[in-house]
Amino acid sequence: MSPRVLAPPILAAVQTYRGPRTFDTPDGRQHEQITKLYHLRATAYAPPGLKILYGGMDPELSRKAQLAPEGVRPVLRRRDSPRAAHGADD
């Protein structure tokens, strides 16, 4: 019997941040979330490097096919502002 060779890992890091807003899905109410993936090597679906995914109903984030840190930060800053906390930006 030959030794089993393990494939090198594809993902180096995965971080998911759950947001305060919720939305309804067929599976029930869900929190919006941003997930950061770092691919060490290419897959059939993603090139190597950082990939940012958004799950939620925010029109500014959900319409973008590719999210970058520069595109996500301003949206999160606006939401964290005191005005947004009181519902003025909704």
Q: What is the pTM of this model?
A: 0.66
DSSP, res 81? S
Residue 87 has pLDDT above 50, yes or no: no
- Quote the pLDDT of residue 88: 41
What pLDDT is recorded for position 30?
Answer: 93
11-67, pLDDT tens digit by residue?
A: 788 888 888 889 999 999 999 998 888 888 888 877 888 888 888 888 888 887 778
Mean pLDDT of 62-84: 74
Per-residue pLDDT averaged across 80-89, rounded?
49
CA proximity to 55, closest of 25, 11, 89, 85: 25
